[in-house]
Amino acid sequence: MCQPVLVSDQRETSVCVLGLGLIGGSVVRAAADAGRTVWGYNRSSSAVVDATAEGFDAADDLPAVLQRAQREHALIVIAVPMPAVDSVLTAITEHAPDCALTDVVSVKAEMLSAVERHGLAARYVGGHPMAGTSESGWAASTADLFHDAVWVVGTEADADPIVWSQVAQLALDCGSVVIPAESVEHDRAVARISHLPHLLAEALALSGAAGGDLALTLAAGSFRDGTRVAGTAPDLVRAMCEANSTALLIALDETVEVLKAARMALAAAASTADLVTAGHAAHTRYTHRQRWDITDITPGDDGWQDALRKAGRRGGALRAL
């Protein structure tokens, strides 16, 4: 059995990464750099060949990889695309049912549901490193991808303190700071700051193009910046927005109401005062935001999950355990 055990240093826990794409590959590299014992699995053998050639421990035999995780009490990191998650969870249930489990998928509530369906929730603490590039695959992975990034660690009301600490330590070892947040809170936050920006960029691009070549000829900095992420591959934008549709719907509805109110004020009084004043104040709050260090909460103490979540809501981050 690989029951998580509280060790004096969570860094003694070995790490098993499933999926050697940009994120999973970068976890392997970063964990290895940090001195952690780490090995990986990838379904297609080309990434395995490339990783092995670079001296990393990788294989395309999922049962064997998971059986080793079970033997070595490893922390398993799910780093496959969302559509592949179910089959990976089935294999974990069979070959490594007692291992601590995390993931790097960008939407957390849907992932938590999948883990619950497979009866693995007791050992699961979700994760989301907020890092990425426009490239993908093992070849694009780097050991410093997560340096100075924020890594959300799922902090449900019933989170296991030992698993939570193992996941947080991995994030820290990869060079990130840890932001504690409940899955649903995480999804609502990224809907606002990552998925809604994509939809607004698409809508702005449409408005510009509707103005024809004259409008596009006159377009300058405000249009270029406002539409930049509309250049992202449609499949990627759809995948992340649609996986988070519940939270995105809330943010989108709010924004439609804000713009309808702005439309009324513009039609009635040729005024944009309310929107512009409030928007500028909100932007000032964003540019003046300050992350502060959470230092006084120990996983396992009474009410630690709630204390961490409250700290995360107020902009707190962990730099060390």
The binder of its own copies chosen from 185, 307, 308, 318 (CB under 8 A):
185
Binding residues for its own copies, rule CB under 8 A, total 95
Q: Which is nearer to its own copies, 15 or 159 (CB)?
A: 159
Question: DSSP string of 233-262?
Answer: -HHHHHHHHHHTHHHHHHHHHHHHHHHHHH
Choose one: 48-56, 74-82, 161-169, 179-187; the region binding its own copies (CB under 8 A): 179-187
Q: Site residues for its own copies, window 246-305 (CB under 8 A)?
A: 248-249, 251-256, 258-260, 262-263, 266-267, 270-273, 275-287, 289, 291
What is the C-alpha to C-alpha distance for residues 223 and 216, in angstroms, rounded to an integer? 9
The answer to the question of residue 130 lying near its own copies (CB under 8 A) is yes
Token pair recorded at residue 32: 């290895």
* One-letter identity of residue 302: D
Choose one: 3-11, 23-31, 76-84, 240-248; the region binding its own copies (CB under 8 A): 240-248
Q: Site residues for its own copies, window 57-86 (CB under 8 A)?
A: none
Q: Which is nearer to its own copies, 95 or 310 (CB)?
A: 310
Nearest to 73 by CA among 4, 10, 170: 4
The binder of its own copies chosen from 14, 223, 304, 321 (CB under 8 A):
223
The answer to the question of residue 226 lying near its own copies (CB under 8 A) is yes
Q: Which is nearer to its own copies, 93 or 271 (CB)?
A: 271
- Tell me, residue by residue from 192 to 211, as one string, x for binding to its own copies by CB under 8 A and - for no binding: xxx-xxxxxxxxxxxxxxxx
Q: Which is nearer to its own copies, 85 or 92 (CB)?
A: 85
Q: Which long-range contacts (CB under 8 A, 24 or more apart) does 228-237 make?
A: 228/201, 229/197, 229/198, 229/201, 230/198, 230/201, 230/202, 230/204, 230/205, 232/134, 232/198, 237/198, 237/202
The binder of its own copies chosen from 147, 228, 303, 319 (CB under 8 A):
228
The answer to the question of residue 23 lying near its own copies (CB under 8 A) is no
Which residues partner with 58 through β-bridges?
Answer: 40
What is the C-alpha to C-alpha distance for residues 157 and 304, in angstroms, rounded to an integer? 9
The answer to the question of residue 147 lying near its own copies (CB under 8 A) is no
Nearest to 7 by CA among 163, 125, 152, 160: 163
Alpha helical stretches, state H, 99-233: 108-117, 161-173, 183-190, 196-210, 212-218, 221-227
The binder of its own copies chosen from 2, 190, 294, 307 (CB under 8 A):
190
Choose one: 82-90, 92-100, 138-146, 311-319; the region binding its own copies (CB under 8 A): 311-319
Q: Is 152 helix (H, G, I), strand (E, B) or coil?
A: strand
The binder of its own copies chosen from 86, 116, 242, 301 (CB under 8 A):
242
The answer to the question of residue 317 lying near its own copies (CB under 8 A) is yes
User: Measured between alpha carbons, how far is residue 204 from residues 67, 200, 222, 225, 248 in Å?
Assistant: 50, 6, 11, 10, 18
